[in-house]
């Protein structure tokens, strides 16, 4: 028998053997007992884990999300836990913005650490979503990814923030700008985004959003290379600055990340542009520490989907105190702390409603119809939050080296997304 | 118009950074033939260091930048060169391309880890994440000036321009007007010749790497305000600047520099004016990669048409011929055990991880097809994976069953593969690798941005299939199914490898031209390989996506593909089963490390980068290394008496050079039985030294043939030299003595080992046994550089010149003083008129003159000339020999290897015959006999030269033939003819050997060319008394 033939024969034999094994066991292991499981729940504790992208090749990190969650869980435990159970927070797994690691982090937390829930989950990728949904693991995080919209076990702390066809678009940005600019009538805006599918989608969304709020959208293009921030912005600013019939528009809306915004705004300001600049990402007090960013972002209005740190309330005071306690010292606040904090907060609120008899089923039952008001992310309601965002937001302006509230935190009526 | 000016001006900023990076790429490529993927990572590391030192520790900006660019970065380059690049220069191209990919991720991780450690130690470092708008060298925020309406510059841009201009001028001066620059350019031109000229190519390589790293550091510091601290952005920036290096064909620094500047401008212009492409999402993002791809297609047109990667010799298959059980038994057992483990010991978590690793293995196996079988480095495998998974997902969303969707997805990937293969038909090596990388980025940025294909960020759900009772939703069932699939893939590929098609593929891999000549269609083979590999990757992708139960367009990016390749190559590409190991390792190791070793995420990444270091030592990967090393160990155990090199070496070491009086003490036949080590005491015994005809007369003084006085110390002496290439011994104990003012002509048939003798004498080849003495000093362990500095110069076969350098520069490398060069021009007026002309454009004779002429001005102690008259016209040959005679008269000792026996006998003082790696006869020119010469050339004596005639007899009888010389001349006329007719054949064999980096593969050609196959046997003849065939006059 030639070697080839033998190889094939052996492979076939192995195949048969293995298939037989597979058949035997697959039939016995298909059922899941997760529905009534008390995985991660004991008489006096609830095990919770997190997934956060901390180290990445792009230099972008959400690691303070972990601190925010810890701060919230610490306070819950200090207040006696949830229905008598302490939260056993394992800390967050680092997924490094890598889809494969995101999934294995989810698997590790569920299969190895046996957590009851995951809070927070904050990353640019969420490939563990299907697994968590299937394993019936309540998961709480930043709803900027489509996986937060729809699956019944996955909750965004501010709702689902990705407008879905047939869903709604939050009007916080144009409505906030209206307050800043004194109405939308006759005001022109230019919207710019990255040259990618996500950018195209952002343009589509905000074009509709601003137009329906009464603004004149004179430019809406995903034109900026998405791979890395350009060094030369003149090619992109030229067209924007002439878009309003040869004049510059009244406002320029950037739907891009911080490095892009810094380049874009610096370039635009150098041309002597006097209009309004706004973006949704640059609320990071860390940016104030550097003169270049401070200068580039000076005067820029930043959209937030939660209550600004500068706007006082009892909850905000509590938040700051919790963070200080968890960090052990005064640390500059950032939105990732808020993300982690509010993800934990939503989990705690629903868990509390679920009562003493905590199972996945009772938790899901409590979530269905859950509602509260006046939180730092506005009025929360489930399962509405799994279809659309809570629709609340604020604008802050960077002025003389610090953020000031330019449009206070408020909830607005969303519009249907076409 | 002002728009245009603005675009050009601001385009020059990124252009300047591209230029700096591209120049560094070209420098390092020239130094060691590596395309350094980690070049951008070096820049990132410097940017990070600059940020921490300047912003964290508060050091002043400019001195910090200078420190980093002039000290830290060069030291890093030097260290990497010493640790890996230097070794990598000698391995196959695939390992070269891949080794630096590990560094690409390891260097940034190293930097971040150090920051982490410093932070733990309480140093005032700042976090490296989420840092934007970082200060550069200049003021922060940058000052800006408005030149005209719409055209402005800022201080950062200005600093970049000025620095780049200064660097450009500085580099130009360094390369064109300093001795160091001259040496660097010479090293680029002909690395081995540089060594022969007494300059250390390794040192020059270090310098080039230091310069290259310094440039990367400079680019990093300058780009800090622009790119921030994103290692990813730095790497992308580097890939774009590779376009400029391509424009400079990886050789020309000025072209690369200009290309970089032009690239920046072009990119800006396209961005400014390409409104036509607005409807294509991702077009503007993809512009740099479009340019890279176009540049590769256009610029590599004139290179090898059918070229794949450089020939890298396949590793010895130690299991060849073993039983099936021996070869596949362990693998089969491992597969069965793994399958059983799924249902017995592994926890759900580990089952999942194993299944993931197996799914990835399917993808990894595809690398063994395109790169392992085809030697084409594909960096686009992730594209095929994404493409197939997206298509399958799209179809499943329309209700297609899993199998049908997977089949169509696989086909889609195969089609993509065929498309990617089209450029592969023209490109080879790193050009192909870069082209596939460019296509991978293009696919990421344009193809996978198409809305209906990617379905936004949601992607497509790929539910796992259930076949009757087998429900793959269970990780364990999926794992077992994957084992079956992987086993099938491995078996199929192994069968393919052994099939005629597989052999055709291997033929195309190792020698495209020869394969074509044998009727194998190179084009078809390459297309098939790429298509097959892409299809396999696609199928693996669908399976992987079904493990995830979802695919999104960003799951597997071009960067992922890079890392994958590095992981597979680290394990080994030659066999599909190695790729399976790679897949499992890739999935398992990070979890094992985090569970059992460290929580730091940086350390595993750094370890992973060390794979590059490992590749430098085991270019075929760790899986292959296991069997190779085991085999070596077995070999060492199996022959406890030691291999031939062991015993002979010991024996020689025992003999003192001083006491032996120049007598070769040990010969092949002396140690022939493999058990006895020649004692120093027996050295003088003429019968033991029988093979060493020359100089072995009784006590070493009886050298009746030497023209020089007996007491004079030999300028060059070889004793019992045994040498060969990678298990193919060529020399079996060569003894030669050349005295000052003497020409020793070394004659012999093809494959006798003449060139090898020269290379051993010059230090290019380290002997396995024996000693080399230069002026009585043991120089055996010295390399070519030190040998050359000691006055031993090799004029290698072919022309010993640097073709890309001018005549003046060629001379200047040997003659530092201007008046010496003038003296050469005086002697050779033909050269004088063209001193600014590139030496490569000279005629063959002029080139040879150029190679030898400077030696007259500064005569070396020893000149080893390997066929100086090769391919020259008779008149020129006369000139060459006259020149050599002149050299002798200045006292130089010449070892002259020649084919043109007539001419050489006219100048030689002593003649030695070399046959089958042994000196069979040596004596004065006057004693040369026609018959002997004929024998020497035709190799008749060779077959029986195991124990040649006793030297006295040979010499005496030669002496007793008064008409020897004339007869010899007559005979040589005929023998030259026969030798020349065989010239072409041996040319290919010995030439290949003279080419650096080619030895292992080409060396195989030498032994077969000797008529007696026994010389190739690793052990010497067992019976030293075998004298039957000795030819006597």
Are both A300 and A318 inside the same structural domain?
A: no
Res. B640: pLDDT tops 50: no
Are both A150 and A207 inside the same structural domain?
A: no
Per-residue pLDDT band for B1014 (boundaries 50, 70, 90) equals: very low
In 3D, which of A264, A164, A165, A172 has the Cα closest to residue A210? A172
Which residues are CB-neighbours of A347 under 8 A, at least 6 positions away? A48, A117, A119, A138, A140, A155
Mean pLDDT of B1001-1029: 37
B349–A contact, CB cutoff 8 A: yes
Are both A51 and A149 inside the same structural domain?
A: yes
Residue B164 burial by CB count (10 A; 0-12/13-18/19+): exposed, middle or buried?
A: buried
From chain B, the residues in CB contact with A147 under 8 A are: 458
Q: Hey, are the CB atoms on B281 and A19 less than 8 Å from each other?
A: no
Mean pLDDT of B625-630: 77
Q: Hey, are the CB atoms on B476 and A26 less than 8 Å from each other?
A: yes
What per-residue confidence (pLDDT) applies to A51? Answer: 95
The highest-confidence range among A235-239, A396-400, B707-711, by mean pLDDT, is A396-400
B344–A contact, CB cutoff 8 A: no
Q: Could you report the per-residue pLDDT of B660-694, keeping only the tens digit for each?
A: 333 333 333 333 333 333 333 333 333 333 333 34
Nearest to A30 among B105, B127, B471 (CB): B471
Per-residue pLDDT band for B318 (boundaries 50, 70, 90) equals: low
Asked if the structure places residue A52 within a domain, the reply is yes
Mean pLDDT of B915-942: 72
Mean pLDDT of A107-114: 92
Asked if the structure places residue A31 within a domain, the reply is no
Per-residue pLDDT band for B1025 (boundaries 50, 70, 90) equals: very low
In 3D, which of B895, B894, B814 has the Cα closest to residue B854? B814
What per-residue confidence (pLDDT) applies to B1003? Answer: 36
Nearest CA in chain B to A227: B285
What are residue B544's phi and psi, to 5 degrees? Answer: -65, -45
Domain ranges of chain B: 19-123+153-242, 324-586, 671-801+842-1016
Smallest Cα distance from B356 to chain A, Å: 9
What per-residue confidence (pLDDT) applies to B834? Answer: 84
Question: What rounded mean pLDDT belongs to chain B?
Answer: 77
Tell me which residue range forms the domain holding A180: 171-304+395-416
Res. B1001: pLDDT tops 90: no
Domains B324-586 and B671-801+842-1016 equal at CATH topology level: no
As a three-state string, the secondary structure of B862-900 is EEEEECCCCCCCHHHHHHHHHHHHHHHHCCCEEEEECCC
What per-residue confidence (pLDDT) applies to A46? Answer: 94
Are both A236 and A277 inside the same structural domain?
A: yes
Per-residue pLDDT band for B150 (boundaries 50, 70, 90) equals: low
Res. B543: pLDDT tops 50: yes
Res. A131: pLDDT tops 90: yes
Beta carbon pairs, A and B, within 8 Å: 283
Q: Could you report the per-residue pLDDT of A134-160, keeping only the tens digit for each?
A: 999 999 999 888 899 989 999 999 999
Smallest Cα distance from A84 to chain B, Å: 30
Are both A229 and A192 inside the same structural domain?
A: yes
The answer to whether residues B787 and B762 touch, using CB atoms and an 8 Å cutoff, is: yes
pLDDT over 70 percentage in chain A: 91
Q: Could you report the per-residue pLDDT of B411-432, keeping only the tens digit for each?
A: 999 999 998 888 767 777 778 8
The answer to whether residues B736 and B773 touch, using CB atoms and an 8 Å cutoff, is: no
What per-residue confidence (pLDDT) applies to B962? Answer: 40
Q: Hey, are the CB atoms on B132 and A259 less than 8 Å from each other?
A: yes
State which H helix or E strand residue A77 sits in.
helix A64-78
In 3D, which of B624, B313, B338, B324 has the Cα closest to residue B494? B324
B340–A contact, CB cutoff 8 A: yes
Asked if the structure places residue A36 within a domain, the reply is no
From chain A, the residues in CB contact with B488 under 8 A are: 11, 15
Walk across the sheet containing A154-156 and list its strands: A86-94, A45-52, A117-122, A139-141, A154-156
Name which of A251-255, B45-49, B244-248, B670-674 the model is least confident about: B670-674
Q: Could you report the per-residue pLDDT of B10-52, keeping only the tens digit for each?
A: 788 888 989 999 988 888 887 777 888 889 999 999 999 999 9
Checking DSSP bridges between strand B470-471 and strand B466-467, what pairing results, if any?
Answer: antiparallel
For tokens 């999104």, name the residue: B552
Checking DSSP bridges between strand A276-279 and strand A378-381, what pairing results, if any?
Answer: unpaired
What are residue A347's phi and psi, to 5 degrees? Answer: -60, -45
Are both A178 and A229 inside the same structural domain?
A: yes
| Six-digit token string for A356 | 């003493």
For B931, other C-beta atoms within 10 Å of its C-beta total 18
B284–A contact, CB cutoff 8 A: yes
DSSP B543-567: HHHHHHTEE-TTSS-HHHHHHHHHH
For residues B235 and B106, give the distance between their C-alpha atoms in angstroms, rounded to a whole number. Answer: 13
Candidates 1.10.3470, 3.10.450, 3.40.50, 3.90.25; CATH matching B324-586? 1.10.3470
Q: Hey, are the CB atoms on A127 and B268 less than 8 Å from each other?
A: no
Q: Hey, are the CB atoms on B454 and A262 less than 8 Å from each other?
A: no
B237–A contact, CB cutoff 8 A: yes
Specify the length of chain A in residues. Answer: 418
Are both A187 and A250 inside the same structural domain?
A: yes
What per-residue confidence (pLDDT) applies to B939? Answer: 53
Per-residue pLDDT band for B296 (boundaries 50, 70, 90) equals: confident
Res. A266: pLDDT tops 90: no
Q: Could you report the per-residue pLDDT of B333-363, keeping only the tens digit for each?
A: 899 999 998 888 888 899 999 999 999 999 9
What per-residue confidence (pLDDT) applies to B988? Answer: 41
Res. B152: pLDDT tops 60: yes
Asked if the structure places residue A124 within a domain, the reply is yes
Q: Hey, are the CB atoms on A30 and B336 less than 8 Å from each other?
A: no
Are both A57 and A132 inside the same structural domain?
A: yes
Name which of A178-187, B74-83, B303-312, B643-652 the model is least confident about: B643-652
Domain tally, chain A:
2
In 3D, which of B651, B701, B538 has the Cα closest to residue B1020? B651
For residues B269 and B262, give the distance between their C-alpha atoms in angstroms, rounded to a whole number. Answer: 10
Q: Could you report the per-residue pLDDT of A224-233, keeping only the tens digit for each?
A: 888 777 877 8
What per-residue confidence (pLDDT) applies to B199? Answer: 83
What per-residue confidence (pLDDT) applies to B7? Answer: 80
Asked if the structure places residue A30 within a domain, the reply is no
Asked if the structure places residue A348 within a domain, the reply is yes
Mean pLDDT of B835-852: 84
CATH fold label, B671-801+842-1016: Rossmann fold (3.40.50)
Are both A52 and A152 inside the same structural domain?
A: yes
Nearest to A232 among B268, B283, B494 (CB): B268
| Six-digit token string for B807 | 């005549």
Buried b (16+ CB within 10 A) or exposed e, A23-37: bebbeebeeeeeeeb
Mean pLDDT of B242-258: 84
Residue B461 DSSP one-character state: E
Smallest Cα distance from A28 to chain B, Å: 10
Nearest to A18 among B140, B324, B483 (CB): B483
For residues B47 and B175, give the distance between their C-alpha atoms in angstroms, rounded to a whole number. Answer: 27
What are residue B679's phi and psi, to 5 degrees? Answer: -85, 145
For residues B805 and B813, give the distance between their C-alpha atoms in angstroms, rounded to a whole number. Answer: 10
For residues B912 and B951, give the distance between their C-alpha atoms in angstroms, rounded to a whole number. Answer: 12
What per-residue confidence (pLDDT) applies to B994? Answer: 39
Q: How far is CA A293 from CA A89, A227, B155, B342, B818, in A?
A: 35, 21, 16, 54, 58
What per-residue confidence (pLDDT) applies to B694? Answer: 40
Name which of B348-362, B733-747, B986-1000 the model is least confident about: B986-1000
Res. B396: pLDDT tops 90: yes
Q: Hey, are the CB atoms on A232 and B14 less than 8 Å from each other?
A: yes
Nearest CA in chain A to B343: A25
Are both A61 and A113 inside the same structural domain?
A: yes
Are both A259 and A399 inside the same structural domain?
A: yes
What per-residue confidence (pLDDT) applies to B973? Answer: 39
| Six-digit token string for B116 | 């982490």
Are both A135 and A198 inside the same structural domain?
A: no
CATH number at residue A221: 3.40.50.2300
Res. A337: pLDDT tops 90: yes
For residues B506 and B291, give the distance between their C-alpha atoms in angstroms, rounded to a whole number. Answer: 33
Residue A338 burial by CB count (10 A; 0-12/13-18/19+): exposed, middle or buried?
A: buried
Q: How many degrees, rounded to 5, is the angle at CA B386 between CA B382 and CA B392?
A: 145
Res. B472: pLDDT tops 60: yes
Per-residue pLDDT band for B809 (boundaries 50, 70, 90) equals: confident
In 3D, which of B886, B955, B949 has the Cα closest to residue B926? B955
Per-residue pLDDT band for B192 (boundaries 50, 70, 90) equals: confident
For residues A118 and A131, give the distance between their C-alpha atoms in angstroms, rounded to a whole number. Answer: 12
What per-residue confidence (pLDDT) applies to B929? Answer: 74
From chain B, the residues in CB contact with A286 under 8 A are: 130
What pTM value is reported for the model?
A: 0.80
Checking DSSP bridges between strand B910-915 and strand B743-747, what pairing results, if any?
Answer: parallel
């Amino acid at each position: 028998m030639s070697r080839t033939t033998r190889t094939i024969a052996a492979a076939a034999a192995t195949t048969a053997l293995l298939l037989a094994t597979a058949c035997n066991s697959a039939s016995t292991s298909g059922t899941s007992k997760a529905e009534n499981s008390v995985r991660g729940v004991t008489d006096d504790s609830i095990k919770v884990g997190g997934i956060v992208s901390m180290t990445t090749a792009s230099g972008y990190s959400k690691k303070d999300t972990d601190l925010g969650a810890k701060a919230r869980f610490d306070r819950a435990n200090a207040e006696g836990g949830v229905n008598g159970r302490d939260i056993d927070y394992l800390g967050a797994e680092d997924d490094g913005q890598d889809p494969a690691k995101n999934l294995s982090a989810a698997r590790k937390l569920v299969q190895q650490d046996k957590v009851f829930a995951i809070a927070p989950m904050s990353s640019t990728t969420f490939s563990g979503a299907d697994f968590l949904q299937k394993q019936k693991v309540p998961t709480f995080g930043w709803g900027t990814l489509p996986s937060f919209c729809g699956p019944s076990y996955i909750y965004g702390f501010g709702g689902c923030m990705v407008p879905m066809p047939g869903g709604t678009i939050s009007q916080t940005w144009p409505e906030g700008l209206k307050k800043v600019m004194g109405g939308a009538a006759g005001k022109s805006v230019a919207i710019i985004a990255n040259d990618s599918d996500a950018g195209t989608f952002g343009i589509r969304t905000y074009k509709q959003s601003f137009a329906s709020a009464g603004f004149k959208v004179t430019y809406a293009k995903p034109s900026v290379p998405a791979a890395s921030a350009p060094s030369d912005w003149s090619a992109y600013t030229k067209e924007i600055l002439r878009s309003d019939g040869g004049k510059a528009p009244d406002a320029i809306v950037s739907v891009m990340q911080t490095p892009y915004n810094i380049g874009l705004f610096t370039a635009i300001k150098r041309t002597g542009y006097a209009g309004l600049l706004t973006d949704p990402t640059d609320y990071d007090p860390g940016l104030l520490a550097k003169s270049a960013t401070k200068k580039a972002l000076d005067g820029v209005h930043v959209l937030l989907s939660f209550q600004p740190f500068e706007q006082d309330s009892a909850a905000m005071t509590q938040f700051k105190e919790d963070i200080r306690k968890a960090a052990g010292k005064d640390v500059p606040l950032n939105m990732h702390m808020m993300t982690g904090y509010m993800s934990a907060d939503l989990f705690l609120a629903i868990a509390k409603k679920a009562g003493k008899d905590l199972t996945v089923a009772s938790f899901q039952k409590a979530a269905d119809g859950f509602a509260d008001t006046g939180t730092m992310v506005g009025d929360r309601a489930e399962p509405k939050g799994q279809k659309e965002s809570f629709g609340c937001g604020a604008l802050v302006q960077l002025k003389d080296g610090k953020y000031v509230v330019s449009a206070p935190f408020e909830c607005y009526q969303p519009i249907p997304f076409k | 118009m002002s728009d245009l000016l603005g675009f050009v001006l601001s385009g020059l900023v990124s252009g300047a950074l591209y230029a700096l990076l591209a120049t560094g790429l070209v420098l390092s490529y020239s130094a060691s033939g590596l395309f350094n993927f980690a070049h951008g990572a070096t820049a990132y590391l410097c940017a990070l260091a600059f940020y921490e030192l300047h912003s964290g520790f508060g050091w002043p900006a400019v001195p910090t930048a200078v420190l980093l660019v002039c000290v830290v970065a060069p030291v890093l380059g030097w260290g990497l060169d010493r640790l890996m690049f230097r070794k990598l220069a000698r391995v196959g191209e695939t390992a070269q391309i891949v080794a630096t990919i590990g560094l690409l991720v390891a260097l940034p991780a190293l930097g971040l880890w150090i920051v982490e450690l410093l932070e733990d130690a309480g140093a005032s470092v700042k976090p490296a994440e989420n840092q934007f708008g970082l200060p550069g060298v200049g003021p922060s925020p940058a000052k800006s000036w408005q030149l005209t309406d719409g055209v402005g510059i800022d201080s950062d841009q200005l600093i970049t321009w000025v620095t780049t201009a200064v660097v450009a001028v500085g580099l130009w001066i360094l390369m064109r007007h300093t001795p160091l620059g001259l040496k660097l350019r010479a090293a680029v031109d002909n690395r081995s010749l540089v060594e022969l000229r007494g300059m250390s190519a390794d040192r020059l390589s270090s310098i080039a790497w230091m310069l290259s790293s310094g440039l990367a550091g400079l680019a990093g510091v300058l780009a800090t305000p622009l790119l921030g601290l994103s290692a990813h952005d730095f790497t992308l920036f580097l890939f774009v600047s590779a376009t400029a290096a391509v424009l400079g064909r990886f050789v020309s620094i000025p072209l690369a520099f200009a290309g970089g500047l032009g690239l920046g401008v072009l990119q800006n212009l396209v961005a400014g004016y390409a409104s036509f492409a607005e409807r294509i999402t991702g077009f503007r993002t993809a512009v740099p990669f479009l340019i890279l791809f176009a540049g590769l297609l256009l610029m590599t047109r004139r290179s090898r048409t059918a070229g794949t990667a450089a020939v890298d010799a396949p590793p010895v298959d130690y299991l060849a011929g073993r039983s099936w059980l021996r070869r596949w038994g362990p693998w089969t057992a491992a597969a069965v055990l793994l399958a059983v483990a799924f249902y017995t010991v592994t926890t759900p978590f580990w089952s999942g991880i194993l299944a993931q690793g197996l799914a990835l293995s399917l993808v990894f196996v595809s690398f063994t097809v395109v790169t392992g079988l085809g030697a084409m480095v594909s960096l686009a495998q992730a594209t095929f994976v994404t493409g197939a998974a997206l298509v399958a997902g799209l179809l499943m969303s329309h209700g297609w069953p899993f199998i049908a969707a997977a089949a169509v997805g696989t086909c889609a990937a195969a089609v993509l593969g065929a498309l990617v293969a089209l450029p592969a038909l023209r490109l080879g090596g790193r050009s192909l690798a870069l082209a596939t990388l460019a296509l991978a980025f293009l696919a990421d940025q344009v193809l996978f941005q198409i809305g209906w294909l990617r379905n936004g960020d949601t992607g497509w759900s790929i539910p796992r299939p259930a076949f009757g009772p087998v429900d793959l939703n269970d990780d364990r069932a999926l794992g077992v199914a994957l084992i079956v699939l992987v086993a099938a893939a491995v078996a199929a590929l192994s069968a393919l490898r052994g099939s005629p098609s597989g052999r055709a593929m291997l033929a195309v891999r190792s020698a495209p031209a020869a394969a074509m000549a044998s009727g194998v269609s190179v084009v078809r083979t390459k297309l098939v390989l790429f298509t097959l590999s892409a299809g396999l990757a696609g199928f693996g992708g669908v399976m992987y996506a079904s493990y995830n139960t979802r695919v999104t367009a960003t799951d597997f990016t071009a960067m992922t593909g890079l890392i994958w390749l590095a992981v597979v190559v680290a394990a080994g590409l030659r066999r599909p089963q190695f790729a399976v190991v790679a897949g499992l390792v890739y999935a398992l190791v990070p979890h094992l490390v985090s569970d059992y070793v460290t929580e730091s995420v940086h350390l595993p990444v750094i370890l992973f980068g060390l794979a590059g270091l490992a590749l430098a030592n085991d270019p075929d990967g760790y899986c292959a290394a296991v069997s190779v090393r085991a085999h070596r160990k077995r070999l060492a155990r199996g022959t406890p008496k030691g291999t031939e090199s062991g015993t002979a070496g010991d024996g020689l070491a025992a003999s003192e050079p001083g006491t032996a009086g120049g007598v070769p003490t040990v010969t092949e036949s002396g140690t022939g039985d493999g058990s006895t080590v020649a004692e120093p005491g027996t050295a003088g015994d003429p019968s033991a030294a029988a093979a060493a005809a020359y100089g072995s007369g009784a006590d070493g003084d009886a050298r009746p043939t030497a023209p020089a006085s007996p007491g004079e110390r030999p300028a060059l002496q070889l004793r019992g030299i045994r040498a060969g290439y990678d298990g193919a011994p060529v020399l079996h104990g060569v003894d030669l003595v050349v005295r000052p003012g003497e020409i020793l002509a070394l004659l012999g048939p093809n494959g006798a080992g003449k060139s090898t003798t020269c290379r051993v004498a010059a230090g290019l080849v380290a002997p396995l046994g024996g000693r080399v003495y230069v002026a009585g000093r043991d120089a055996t362990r010295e390399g070519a550089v030190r040998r050359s500095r000691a006055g031993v110069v090799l004029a290698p076969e072919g022309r010993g010149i640097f073709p890309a350098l001018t005549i003046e520069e060629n001379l200047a490398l040997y003659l530092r003083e201007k008046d010496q060069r003038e003296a050469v021009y005086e002697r050779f007026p033909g050269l004088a008129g063209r001193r600014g002309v590139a030496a490569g454009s000279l005629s063959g004779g002029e080139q040879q003159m150029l190679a030898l002429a400077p030696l007259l001005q500064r005569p070396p102690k020893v000149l080893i000339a390997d066929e100086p008259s090769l391919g020259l016209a008779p008149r020129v040959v006369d000139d060459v020999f006259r020149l050599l005679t002149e050299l002798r008269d200045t006292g130089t000792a010449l070892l002259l290897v020649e084919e043109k026996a007539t001419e050489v006998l006219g100048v030689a003082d002593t003649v030695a015959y070399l046959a089958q790696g042994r000196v069979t006869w040596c004596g004065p020119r006057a004693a040369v006999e026609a018959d002997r010469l004929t024998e020497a050339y035709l190799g008749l004596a060779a077959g029986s030269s195991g124990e040649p005639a006793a030297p006295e007899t040979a010499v005496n009888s030669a002496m007793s033939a008064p008409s020897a010389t004339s007869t010899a001349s007559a005979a040589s006329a005929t023998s030259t003819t026969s030798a020349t007719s065989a010239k072409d054949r041996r040319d290919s064999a010995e030439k290949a050997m003279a080419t650096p980096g080619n030895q292992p593969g080409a060396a195989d050609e030498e032994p077969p060319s000797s008529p007696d196959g026994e010389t190739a046997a690793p052990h010497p003849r067992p019976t030293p008394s075998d004298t039957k065939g000795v030819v006597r006059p």
